[in-house]
Amino acid sequence: MIPSLFLISEVNVIRIPFVLTLIVYGGLMSQSRGGLGTTTGKEPGLWDQQNLIVARVTELRILDRKQDPQESTTHILILEPLVTLAGHLDPSQKSQIQARMAVARGLSWGPRKAPEMGALVLALIYPDDDRRNDKIPSYRVSNNACLFMPEEVGIVQLLRGLSDRRILETLARVRAARGTGSATRPTRVVPGDARFVHQLHWNALQAN
């Protein structure tokens, strides 16, 4: 006998097969993770194209999707890259970049809001090939479910700046995914200690 769920309304009781409920629920969950894919950090060639960075938001623009219905993103962030944890982006060479991101709506997967002006963010970005000729180097924030990222989204706002422990925790998960470290024992440094910034930069160099 197939188990059932019951929905009670003002009129009657609706009997729904449990198997059908699981199928529908599973479909919604799949959609909620974007349907765009999953990034684990261990994909071959991933870090030749993508970059995991800590950056400061210096400007924030909201896109009008009514003017361009084909536009899949909602915001343009002007970022000042500070540290690259994985990838090849050189913050000393690129002092300013722009990155398009999409704020998630409804069941879609992704960050629920854009970061604030002046905030530091941890972001997974990749080059925007459609905008190679822009004056400012152009990137996009990943829409995938990023398993090594906090909340598994492509961009998060850091609440404690460079002393936010999620930076080193994320670095540890990337190392574990690439087979160069363990995600269960991230490096521990006391937040606020001057050694933290030094070790953060050292860890970024070692990750590459």
User: Which CATH number is 143's domain given?
Assistant: 2.40.50.120
* Inside any domain, residue 98: yes
Is residue 131 domain-shared with residue 96, that is, in the same domain?
yes
62 and 119 assigned to the same domain: yes
Q: State residue 106's pLDDT score.
A: 66
φ/ψ of residue 141, rounded to 5: -80, 135
SS3 105: coil
69 lies in some domain: yes
Calculate ∠ Cα 10-12-13, nearest 5°. Answer: 115
110 CB contacts (<8 Å, ≥6 apart)?
34, 102, 103, 104, 143, 153, 154
Instruction: Say if residue 112 is in the same domain as residue 180.
Output: yes
The confidence score (pLDDT) of residue 53 equals 98
Q: Which helix (H) or strand (E) holds 42?
A: none
Q: pLDDT above 70 covers what percent of the chain?
A: 64
Same domain for 140 and 77, yes or no, is yes
pLDDT band at 203 (very low <50, low <70, confident <90, very high): low
Which amino acid is it at 92? S
**Rounded distance between C-alpha atoms, residue 151 and residue 154, angstroms:** 9
Look at residue 180 in the predicted model and tell me its pLDDT: 84
With CA atoms as reference, report the closest residue to 117 among 59, 78, 54: 59
| Amino acid 202: pLDDT | 52
User: What is the tens place of the pLDDT at every residue in 43-65?
Assistant: 999 999 999 999 999 999 998 76
Q: Do the domain assignments include residue 90?
A: yes
Instruction: Give, rounded to a whole angstrom, the gap between the first and last alpha carbons of the chain.
Output: 56
Q: Are residues 75 and 101 in the same domain?
A: yes
One domain for residues 14 and 90:
no
pLDDT at residue 157 above 80? yes
In a domain, 41, yes or no: no
Q: Are residues 68 and 125 in the same domain?
A: yes
Q: Can you name the residues that pair with 79 across neighbouring β-strands?
A: 57, 97
Residues 97 and 64 in one domain: yes
Domain count, the chain: 2
Nearest to 168, CA basis, from 59, 52, 30, 44: 52
Check whether 29 has a pLDDT greater than 60.
Answer: no
Task: Kindly tell me if the per-residue pLDDT of 128 is higher than 70.
Answer: yes
- Which pLDDT score is estimated for 70? 67
Same domain assignment for residues 84 and 8: no
121 with 149, same domain: the answer is: yes
Q: Is 37 contained in some domain?
A: no
Q: Beta partners for 61?
A: 76
pLDDT in tens, 79-127: 999 999 999 999 999 999 999 999 987 656 788 899 999 999 999 999 9
- pLDDT surpasses 90 at 173: yes
Whether residues 20 and 110 fall in one domain: no
In a domain, 38, yes or no: no
Global pTM?
0.70
Q: Which domain holds residue 23?
A: 4-32
Residue 133's CB is within 10 A of a number of other CB atoms, namely: 6
- Length of the chain equals 208
